[in-house]
A and B are shown apart, each in its own frame.
Chain A
Amino acid sequence: MGIRNVVQRQFGPVAAEYAVSVVHASGPDLAVLVDVAAAAGAQRALDVGCGAGHTALAIAPHVASVVALDLAEAMLDQARHLAVERGVTNMAFQSGDAEHLPFPDESFDLVTSRYAAHHFPRPAVALREIARVLRPGGILLLVDVVAPPEPLLDTHLNTIELLRDPSHVRDHPVDEWRRMLASAGLYAELLGEWPLRLAFAPWIARMHTPPERAALIRAIFESAPGEVRAGLAIEPDGSFSVPTALLRGSKPLEPRLEEA
């Protein structure tokens, strides 16, 4: 079974949890993302890894149309349900793979992806696909949990993430995202970083993590070195904080357009 099937299997039974997740439905990063998206004056938008649709729903009022794309059909059902509930009519729903986007070149002014990229098996390939479907001058707004720059914290964070969620691939450090955006031909800028506090019980419950794996996460926290406990702000009940970042990747205007 490939990682795509693991993602689909993982998010099938838990889709409804994400529709009501406060972490996913709001946050300072989402507010900035919406501001930047609105200022960009985008017409056609695509949200890659839309999950329950929170990001696509948030930008929908600021664009002509938004396509919400996800690998997991169960998530798309949740997203459509929320859209109907809120009377949002300029959203389309689409099952697809970030590495093989089903759109022609230069189809969108804006691509967003929030808390999804840590599931991309080959993020560099996904970024190239995103760059391909962006029109020249278009932007990607990428939000995700990022790994701290220290390898010690990086290892701990990605280990507990994988224990919690078998479909987790990797939280990348900001510098790695910058490099990957640049090699996809996008001009990378860090627009903001925020700590995200994850309360242990809902974090585990949302993903239906089995108790033995939750216990392993607690064991890792308990034996973690001081740098990790401080860096991830681990609390007695297992709640902790992770860094999140919003990056913008801008597709350069083609030379002939600049001359015109």
Chain B
Amino acid sequence: MSATDRRSFLKTAALGAAATWIQPELGALYALPSGVALRVGLVGCGRQGRAILAELAKIEGVSVTAICDTDERRLSSSARRAPEAKAYATHAELLEANDVDAVVVATPTHLHVAPTVDALKAGKHVYCEAPLAHTIEDAQTIATAARGATGVFQAGFLGRSNPVYKLARSFVRAGAIRDVIAMRAQYRKKTSWMTPSSDPAREKALNWKTDPAISLGLAGEFGAQQLDVLQWFTGRYPEAISGSGAVNAWADGREVADTISCTLEYPEGLRTTYEATLGNSLGGTHEEIFGTMGAVRLAWTHGWMFKEADSATQGWEVYANRQSFHNDEGITLIADATKLAAQGKLKEGVGLPEPPIYYGIWDFVKSAAEGADVATGATEGLRATVVGILAAQAVSTGERVEIDPKLFEG
């Protein structure tokens, strides 16, 4: 064996040891088996709905046959992205036409329950965006309908489908950062969170996120999604949540806080701090898990591990990509490292080859069309939604919310 061969062999072997579980097809074109087809209808044609249409178009065997929105402009905009789909003004009409096998619900959060439950009752497979609902009652209604349904139900909590997150979780659960001592997550983006319209009725409908009667605010709309990642990593759910919020960036008469912070208390003294703002974008969106021998930072398309100086060096680290963050150096987590290392393309593997939403949609399609295990089912979806709703309650009231553990049963 030449020196080069030996180095290449060692690199491949070391990475293989670290990441043998990884799905080999990452980066390849996903397709349903020949002869298997899935007809999908989209309910809710806003920005998220349009993003989902783009991902559905990538999967061979999937056809978008119906789209639905009460807003004509959004409907026509989505029709361009899915030109073969029939357009409907209501989900009832879409279901009545009965030319879909599966339904993706991407309406505003407070409008998830009706299309989700009706589609499940009609025997359709359903993907419901996260959080499931804006009230615990609605979320429970969805979970109950999903458990009794013949079709597949997937909640849109995307961390559980993300290849980088799966890799990071395997490291954390294998003890790579030793004992988890604290967690932290943030959402930061400079935006007014408003949608313009010259029609007052339409403007009110489009701006549901700043309507205190129906909005979960930042804690629910983003926190539920991010906190679920930490709950999935540790297997723990919070016992109590404290929070506060204020309108610091956009003093336009709104009541829903644009800047918030929460502390979530988990069993055995573990704490998570969550902060979110619409006034500044530094650091964007990420979650962090701190252990006594290292930390993991996850930013949806990328992930890094930061090691303490006294932690043992693993063989695979020698060849890993690294990125500097001021005085810290992060080891880049690459989800298909084994395959890329074998091809000498490890550097090309930094960052996911598809947007994070793609992996959630792919998981759903695979479950609906082929019967694969559901990535995030009704129980996980309900639990994550409950955390988001109660975090939103803590922020809006400023009071510590103690959580009845029964809410996480099921």
| A and B interact | no
